[in-house]
């Protein structure tokens, strides 16, 4: 398990490398949820997503290496590319063909190579492992790594410093690095706080693994919440157990419910987010998430959505 001490050390290590992102109330969602709802606007982070926290912490702890590599659905790759550029290291980010072009372009713009491999994150991971094995690159996994989890956990420390009386945190769930880190930090400070994981119905690997009682493979499908795609790894060492032990509730959403959350955040709260970041709002709108026991914080995990796609989703329903 990643500990509170690990997360506090990460916070000190990456201080000055990341932004402290805003926390703001959402009157519209509060009315629908039956209690106060707050938005933790992590999509305002440098590189547009929470992933910079974990990537920066992991990269800062590397020794002498030929370069860095990973497999990513986009946001972790962009974050690692940013951290590598700060350290003057080459970076090769392995992605599947399901990753949107705007995320590939963002990786390339940071001077890294976005290498498209196969139809799933697991296939992309094989190339990252080859680079580690044969070319001396340091492999920084997107979620199942103690330094990555500790870095993501700094978001939990920061959120509770901004809203100490939060009763629940709603966290987008994919491989589990974000939920594991934030939950470890939050429950260390507030053991009674409720941790709610939210994912999509289409290809949610962590949800399927928790239901099975062990990591399982799930077909990776196209989804509006593309950042939540990918497997958790059959050899998962940390995030499966941490999510199993620290998460209080798990909610799955349809594609229509995710789109509804995205539209609401844009129209009512003025926040442009990607599908993965809209799941909390989508869950409230679908009647699957309430805030009756005290303040509810929705972690808006990223904003790296293609502008044309965002406009098209807004135009689907007027």
| Contact between 232 and 205 (Cβ < 8 Å) | yes
- C-alpha 85/C-alpha 207 separation (Å) is 34
Question: Quick one: pLDDT band at residue 259, thresholds 50, 70, 90?
Answer: very high
- What integer pLDDT is reported at residue 73 of this predicted model? 81
Please determine, for residue 44, whether its predicted confidence score (pLDDT) is greater than 60. yes
74's torsion region: left (phi>0), alpha (psi -120 to 50) or beta?
left
Average pLDDT over residues 197-204: 96
Range ranked top by mean pLDDT from 35-49, 89-103, 109-123:
35-49
Question: Quick one: pLDDT band at residue 317, thresholds 50, 70, 90?
Answer: low
For the chain, the maximum distance between any two Cα atoms, rounded to a whole number of angstroms, is 56
Question: Could you read off the pLDDT of 272-312 as tens digits, one per residue?
Answer: 999 999 999 999 999 999 999 999 999 999 999 999 999 99
Domain extent listing, the chain? 4-49+145-315, 51-139
Half-sphere exposure of 67 (CA within 13 A, CB side): 18
- C-alpha 15/C-alpha 94 separation (Å) is 28
4-49+145-315 and 51-139 agree in CATH topology:
yes
Average pLDDT over residues 138-149: 95
Which CATH architecture group holds 51-139? Answer: 3-Layer(aba) Sandwich (3.40)
Question: Could you read off the pLDDT of 168-188 as tens digits, one per residue?
Answer: 999 999 999 999 999 999 999
- C-alpha 259/C-alpha 217 separation (Å) is 26
283: which 2 tokens? Answer: 């869950």
Concerning whether 51 is annotated as a catalytic residue, the answer is yes
pTM over 0.75? The answer is: yes
Average pLDDT over residues 87-99: 92
Q: Which residues pair with 67 in a beta bridge?
A: 137
| Contact between 277 and 74 (Cβ < 8 Å) | no
Please determine, for residue 214, whether its predicted confidence score (pLDDT) is greater than 90. yes
Which uninterrupted H or E stretch holds 203?
Answer: none
Q: Please give the share of the chain, as a percent, with pLDDT higher than 70.
A: 99
Residue from 51, 96, 159, 227 carrying the catalytic annotation:
51
Dump strand ranges (E) for 33-90: 37-40, 67-71
**Mean pLDDT, the chain, integer:** 95
Residue from 96, 209, 227, 301 carrying the catalytic annotation:
301
What does the radius of gyration of the chain's CA atoms come to, in whole angstroms? 18
* Exposure string for 127-156, b = 16+ CB within 10 A, e = fewer: bbeebbeeeebbbbbbbbbbbbbbbbbbbb
Q: What is the CATH number of domain 4-49+145-315?
A: 3.40.50.1100
């Amino acid at each position: 398990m990643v500990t509170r001490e690990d997360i506090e050390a990460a916070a000190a290590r990456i201080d000055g490398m990341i932004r402290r992102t805003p926390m703001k109330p959402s009157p519209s969602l509060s009315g629908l949820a039956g209690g106060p709802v707050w938005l933790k606007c992590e999509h305002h982070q440098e590189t547009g997503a929470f992933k910079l926290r974990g990537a920066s912490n992991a990269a800062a702890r590397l020794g002498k290496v030929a370069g860095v590599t990973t497999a990513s659905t986009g946001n972790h790759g962009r974050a690692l590319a940013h951290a590598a550029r700060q350290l003057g290291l080459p970076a090769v980010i392995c992605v599947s063909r399901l990753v949107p072009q705007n995320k590939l372009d963002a990786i390339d713009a940071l001077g890294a190579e976005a290498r498209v491999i196969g139809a799933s994150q697991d296939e992309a991971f094989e190339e990252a492992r080859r680079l580690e094995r044969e070319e001396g690159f340091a492999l920084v996994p997107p979620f199942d790594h103690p330094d990555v989890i500790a870095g993501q956990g700094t978001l939990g420390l920061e959120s509770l410093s901004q809203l100490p009386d939060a009763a629940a945190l709603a966290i987008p769930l994919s491989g589990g690095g974000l939920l594991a880190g934030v939950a470890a930090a939050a429950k260390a400070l507030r053991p009674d706080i409720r941790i709610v994981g939210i994912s999509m119905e289409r290809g949610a690997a962590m949800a399927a693994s928790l239901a099975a009682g062990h990591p399982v493979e799930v077909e990776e499908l196209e989804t509006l919440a593309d950042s939540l795609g990918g497997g958790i790894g059959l050899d998962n060492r940390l995030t499966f157990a941490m999510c199993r032990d620290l998460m209080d509730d798990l909610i799955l959403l349809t594609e229509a419910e995710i789109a509804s959350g995205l539209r609401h955040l844009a129209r009512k709260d003025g926040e442009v987010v990607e599908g993965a970041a809209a799941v909390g709002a989508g869950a409230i709108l679908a009647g699957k998430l309430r805030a009756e026991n005290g303040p509810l914080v929705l972690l808006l995990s990223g904003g790296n959505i293609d502008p044309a796609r965002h406009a098209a989703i807004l135009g689907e329903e007027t």
